[in-house]
């Protein structure tokens, strides 16, 4: 049976016994446990402090304050007060399948190849373990900023962790079953209320609105190539910080799908079609001239707390491809260089399209004739998401919806 680790929020209580020595207890989930004797208390200055309790099969393994372990009693030549720090985020996660949530982080003890495998399963951080001085914020900024940044877009891109390898990272394998992962916490967002508000705002635009709910079949990668201090990126909403699909991207993949499937990959032919031009618009140098598309593709928001997981690209011949190999051909003497990127998994999204009522009459002629443009656009959008996929790496299974 595999070990099961949990990281749970609690409170540290420091007490004094009849002999005048200090000892500790932790309170969490409505119960108390005695702090293991490996820890040493010289006074009660840590009393009533919030903490994290790391347990293995119910037994306390470590107790952490702001990401730093409590001082241990000297042993094996270690100096008193030697600490082991969680270097950025909480303990890592489990093997295959999504773990249950028990108020803290969970991972199973199954070993994995730290260089090539990526833990799976949504992990929900309980406390932010950023060390603000490890970021590259100006000194006068980090002196006043709270370490608990709940907007993931800000935390990932503006409060980036600077590694000892002299580069910015959001994920790194340290050793077997130990990682650094900038894991988001969207628990403070009421996605149901946000969805209702989004729909209400769209209804007030005075448009005819069509709504579709679709879920990722596997993983979704949007914004992989956007500017970032990392090697890869992700499209995150600038206000809410959660992953989303920009309306321009949705319109783009729908338009591309129609050109490929309806007009045999011939864009010039598509731009001569009345229905295509009505839905998507046409540029100045086309047969119809400059024309704005009547159908509006709105930004796509998740309907639930998104599941974000790291994934990996593992180029084996980087030196050869970058021209630094001294003309050595590709071979097994090169070391693979893992490149991590973020994905969205098992998440349902709301897709909204809109059009002015006066523009929504049935299309008269062309390949898309017979139905109102809003209905046709909605049907084509769904087919594009199901058959062609959204975002990067669709050729290997990413970005498909159901």
Q: Give the residues across from 64 on adjacent strands.
A: 52, 69
Please tell me the distance from the alpha carbon of residue 237 to that of residue 200, in angstroms, as a whole number. Answer: 19
Residue 231 has pLDDT above 70, yes or no: yes
Q: Which residue has the higher pLDDT, 107 or 200?
A: 200
Task: Say what the pLDDT of residue 122 is.
Answer: 34
Please tell me the distance from the alpha carbon of residue 41 to that of residue 25, in angstroms, as a whole number. Answer: 11
Banded pLDDT at 181 (limits 50, 70, 90)? confident
| pLDDT-wise least confident of 155-164, 223-232, 264-273, 368-377 | 155-164
Span 14-28, pLDDT tens digits: 998 887 888 899 998
User: Is residue 94 classed exposed, middle or buried when 0-12, 13-18 and 19+ CB atoms within 10 A define those classes?
Assistant: buried
Look-up of token digits 């705002």: 201
Please tell me the distance from the alpha carbon of residue 23 to that of residue 36, in angstroms, as a whole number. Answer: 9
3-state DSSP assignment of residue 377: helix
Spatial CA neighbour of 218 closest among 352, 95, 351, 391: 391
Task: Say what the pLDDT of residue 375 is.
Answer: 96
Please tell me the distance from the alpha carbon of residue 379 to that of residue 373, in angstroms, as a whole number. Answer: 10
Percentage of the chain lying above the pLDDT 90 cut: 44
Ranked by mean pLDDT, which of 6-20, 48-62, 247-261 comes out on top? Answer: 247-261
- Given a contact cutoff of 8 angstroms between Cβ atoms, the answer to whether 243 and 390 are in contact is no
Percentage of the chain lying above the pLDDT 70 cut: 80
Span 336-346, pLDDT tens digits: 888 889 999 99
Spatial CA neighbour of 339 closest among 180, 230, 243, 222: 230
CA geometry: angle 66, 155, 337, nearest 5 deg: 95
Mean pLDDT of 129-135: 62
Task: Say what the pLDDT of residue 156 is.
Answer: 87
Q: Which residues of 319-356 are buried (b: 16+ CB within 10 A; e: fewer)?
A: bbeeeebeeeeeeeebeeebebbbbbbbbebbbbbbbe
Residue 399 has pLDDT above 80, yes or no: yes
Spatial CA neighbour of 104 closest among 127, 86, 88: 127
Banded pLDDT at 4 (limits 50, 70, 90)? low
Residue 257 has pLDDT above 80, yes or no: yes
Task: Say what the pLDDT of residue 106 is.
Answer: 27
- Given a contact cutoff of 8 angstroms between Cβ atoms, the answer to whether 170 and 141 are in contact is no
Look-up of token digits 């609690």: 10
3-state DSSP assignment of residue 383: helix
Task: Say what the pLDDT of residue 147 is.
Answer: 63
Task: Say what the pLDDT of residue 124 is.
Answer: 34
Mean pLDDT of 162-175: 76
Q: Which residue has the higher pLDDT, 159 or 209?
A: 209
Task: Say what the pLDDT of residue 307 is.
Answer: 92
Ranked by mean pLDDT, which of 54-63, 122-131, 154-163, 378-387 comes out on top? Answer: 378-387
Those residues whose C-beta lies under 8 Å from the C-beta of residue 294, and which sit 6 or more positions away, are 278, 279, 355, 356, 359, 360, 373
Please tell me the distance from the alpha carbon of residue 172 to that of residue 183, in angstroms, as a whole number. Answer: 12
Residue 85 has pLDDT above 80, yes or no: no
When the pLDDT of each residue in the chain is averaged and rounded to a whole number, the result is 80
Q: How far apart, in Å, do the first and last CA atoms of the chain sit?
A: 36
Q: Give the residues across from 344 on adjacent strands.
A: 220, 308
Banded pLDDT at 131 (limits 50, 70, 90)? low
Banded pLDDT at 325 (limits 50, 70, 90)? confident
């Amino acid at each position: 049976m595999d070990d099961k680790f949990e990281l749970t929020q609690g409170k540290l209580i420091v007490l004094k016994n009849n002999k005048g020595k200090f000892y500790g207890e932790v309170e969490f989930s409505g119960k108390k446990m005695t702090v293991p004797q490996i820890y040493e208390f010289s006074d009660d200055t840590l009393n009533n402090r919030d903490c994290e309790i790391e347990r293995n099969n119910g037994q306390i393994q470590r107790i952490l304050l702001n990401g730093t372990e409590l001082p241990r009693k000297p042993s094996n030549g270690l100096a008193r007060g030697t600490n082991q720090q969680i270097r950025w985020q909480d303990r890592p996660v489990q093997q295959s399948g999504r773990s249950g949530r028990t108020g803290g982080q969970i991972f199973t003890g199954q070993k994995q190849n730290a260089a090539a495998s990526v833990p799976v399963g949504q992990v929900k951080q309980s406390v932010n373990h950023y060390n603000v001085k490890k970021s590259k914020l100006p000194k006068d900024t980090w002196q006043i900023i709270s370490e608990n940044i709940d907007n993931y877009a800000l935390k990932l891109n503006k409060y980036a962790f600077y590694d000892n390898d002299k580069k910015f990272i959001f994920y790194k394998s340290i050793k077997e079953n130990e990682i650094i992962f900038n894991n988001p916490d969207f628990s403070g967002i009421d996605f149901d209320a946000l969805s209702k508000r989004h729909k209400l705002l769209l209804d007030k635009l005075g448009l005819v609105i069509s709504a579709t709910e679709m879920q990722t079949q596997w993983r979704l990668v949007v914004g992989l190539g956007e500017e970032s201090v990392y090697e890869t990126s992700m499209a995150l909403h600038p206000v809410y910080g959660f992953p989303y699909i920009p309306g321009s991207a949705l319109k783009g993949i729908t338009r591309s799908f129609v050109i490929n499937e309806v007009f045999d990959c011939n864009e010039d032919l598509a731009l001569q079609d009345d229905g295509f031009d009505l839905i998507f618009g046409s540029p100045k140098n086309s047969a119809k001239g400059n024309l704005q598309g009547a159908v509006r593709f709105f930004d796509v928001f998740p309907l639930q707390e998104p599941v974000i997981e790291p994934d990996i690209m593992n180029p084996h011949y980087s030196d050869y491809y970058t021209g630094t190999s001294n003309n050595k051909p590709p071979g097994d003497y090169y070391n693979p260089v893992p490149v991590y990127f973020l994905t969205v998994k098992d998440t349902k999204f709301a897709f909204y399209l809109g059009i002015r009522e006066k523009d929504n009459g049935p299309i008269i002629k062309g390949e898309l004739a017979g139905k109102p443009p809003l209905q046709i656009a909605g049907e084509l959008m769904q087919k594009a998401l199901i058959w062609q996929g959204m975002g990067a790496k669709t050729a290997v299974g990413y970005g498909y919806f159901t």
